[in-house]
Amino acid sequence: MISQLFVLSARGDTIVTRNLRGELVKGTNEIFFRRAKSWKGDPPPVFNVEGINFLHIKRSGLFLVVTTKYNVSPSYIFDMLLRLVKVIKDFCGLLTEESIRKNFVLVYEAIDEMFDYGYPQSTSTEQVKPYIVNEPVSVENSSSLLKPNFLTPNTVPYTAVQRPVASKKQKNEIFVDIFEKVSVLFNSSGYIVNSGIDGCIQMKSYLQGNPQLRLALNEDLVVGRSSGSFGSVVFEDCNFHECVNFNEFEEFKILTINPPEGEFVVMNYRIRGDYATPFRVFSFIEEHSPYRLEFLIKAKACFPEQQYGSNVSVRFTLPQKTTSVSFETPKGLSGQNTEYREAQKEGEWTIKKFQGGSEYSLKVRASLSGHCSIKELGPISMGFEIPMYNVSNLQVKYLRIAEQGKGSNPYRWVRYVTQASSYVCRVN
């Protein structure tokens, strides 16, 4: 059972607080924040202070924290907090400090319906929605990485999917997002050591009456096999939301969906094996002397020219004896920055827009206070996001809506997004 629940900003300001059982002292939110800031890096998800258990998750820069004096299951609490995040996002449109502050009465309404004397009761948007009487205030997320306009007929601004599901002004439309996170490990010669894709198909429905849906994927999917025909999408593993009927999936690659209110994940999947990586990374040691180190980093975009990588970052660790660093950046490339963090002995090269088919290189010159080994030069890691592109070639063939009335033609929006999960190139 839960004693208290509160939401804190990154500064430690209390945005939402609910004392569910009245059995703990006040000020636990301050105790949590002081202890959280005492750790180097992120605090552990569970810790105990003077007999009080603190369990938390961090989403969008906000701490969602539960306190209890009882020995509860951490996985149970974390699942409950994730459900709370989903409900707040569904009713407020997105989870930010601004959206919660503008909809704090609605958020308290949802919390009071979800918890009764510290015990979770109704934890889904459908169950809570009938008891919400306040109209949500929509807040646009100006910091979103996906900006309009992708100039494709199946795409709208990303902020459109961040509207509250309970809004009276909502349009009759549905959004389908295919997210893929790519993990790749390259050796020092640029060859792939291992790779994998973790993806999901996510929906957010604004359809009136929640009609049944039929989602068809490309027919060359292969599930649960180590190898398939050339060019096919091979799933090592996949699982589905409880609202999905997948009886026709193996043979026809069709999913029948009875969508719940709000945002939900239709399908999670994992892909292992050979596929075309979106970026290739290479490093070359050009000069190494007792007091000087020069090396070159090359990054090449292997996806089509009409796509681009946004907010691309290349990070690398330098030897501990590094005293100063200079960078030679590509000429004619706008929106790039370099930075050396002396405390972490880390360099970073960021490119705001990396066009497909392009190749750029960065020369790094480091001054050393003494002799060091090349092995002290750490691995190179990349972060990126590629809108309207997916590595696996998983495609939505069609999305059909059952019981569609005459004159009704709901909008269907499909987006593809590829992100880096663990994208690392060894230097040695």
Helix (H) or strand (E) holding 298: strand 292-301
Residue 323 is which amino acid? T
Cα distance between residue 428 and residue 148, in whole Å: 41
pTM (two decimals): 0.77
Same domain assignment for residues 8 and 126:
yes
Domain membership flag for residue 159: no
- Looking only at the bridges linking them, the beta strands covering 292-301 and 237-240 are unpaired
- Which residue, 106, 131, 156, sits at the end of a domain? 131
Domain membership flag for residue 232: yes
Cα distance between residue 378 and residue 396, in whole Å: 40
pLDDT along the chain (428 residues), means of 10: 92 92 88 90 90 93 94 93 92 89 92 91 86 82 41 49 67 89 90 91 86 90 59 80 92 91 90 85 84 91 93 93 91 86 92 93 91 84 94 90 68 91 90
Helix (H) or strand (E) holding 65: strand 62-68
Residue from 18, 35, 34, 30 nearest 81 by CA? 18
Same domain assignment for residues 329 and 368:
yes
Total structural domains in the chain? 3
Task: Report the SS3 class of residue 14.
Answer: strand
- Which residue, 71, 106, 131, sits at the end of a domain? 131
Residue from 58, 67, 51, 72 nearest 6 by CA? 67
Same domain assignment for residues 331 and 297:
yes
Same domain assignment for residues 58 and 87:
yes
- Residue that is written with structure tokens 């961040």 in the block: 162
Residue 302 is which amino acid? C
Q: Specify whether the CB–CB gap between 135 and 168 falls below 8 A.
A: yes
What are the phi and psi torsion angles at 92 (to 5°)? -100, -15
Burial class (CB in 10 A: 0-12, 13-18, 19+), 181: middle
Domain membership flag for residue 409: yes
- Both structure tokens of 301: 């975009």
Cα distance between residue 34 and residue 25, in whole Å: 16
Domain membership flag for residue 121: yes
Cα distance between residue 170 and residue 154, in whole Å: 19
pLDDT for position 29: 92
Same domain assignment for residues 185 and 306:
no
Domain membership flag for residue 197: yes
Can you point out the beta strands (E) in 372-427?
380-387, 396-401, 411-425
Residues facing 116 on adjacent strands: 119
- Looking only at the bridges linking them, the beta strands covering 279-289 and 292-301 are antiparallel
Q: What is the CATH number of the domain that holds 85?
A: 3.30.450.60
Cα distance between residue 290 and residue 371, in whole Å: 4
Domain membership flag for residue 154: no
Same domain assignment for residues 125 and 18:
yes
Residue 252 is which amino acid? F
pLDDT for position 184: 93
Same domain assignment for residues 202 and 297:
no
DSSP string of 217-267? E-TTEEES-S--STT-EEESEEEE-TTEE-TTHHHH-EEEE---SEEEEEE
pLDDT for position 245: 94
Same domain assignment for residues 259 and 395:
yes
Same domain assignment for residues 288 and 410:
no
Domain that holds residue 113: 4-131
Q: What is the CATH number of the domain that holds 352?
A: 2.60.40.1170
Same domain assignment for residues 22 and 126:
yes
Same domain assignment for residues 401 and 263:
yes
Domain membership flag for residue 138: no
pLDDT tens track for 229-254: 445 677 888 999 999 999 999 889 99
- Both structure tokens of 16: 């939402």
Residue 356 to residues 80, 107, 151, 309, 394, Cα–Cα distance (Å)? 41, 43, 16, 7, 19
Q: Specify whether the CB–CB gap between 93 and 130 falls below 8 A.
A: no
pLDDT for position 405: 57
Cis peptide before 149 (omega within 30 of 0): yes
Distance of CA 336 to the CA centre of its chain: 23
Burial class (CB in 10 A: 0-12, 13-18, 19+), 23: middle
Domain membership flag for residue 141: no
pLDDT tens track for 325-361: 999 988 877 889 999 999 889 999 999 999 999 999 9
Q: Specify whether the CB–CB gap between 309 and 299 falls below 8 A.
A: no
Same domain assignment for residues 77 and 190:
no
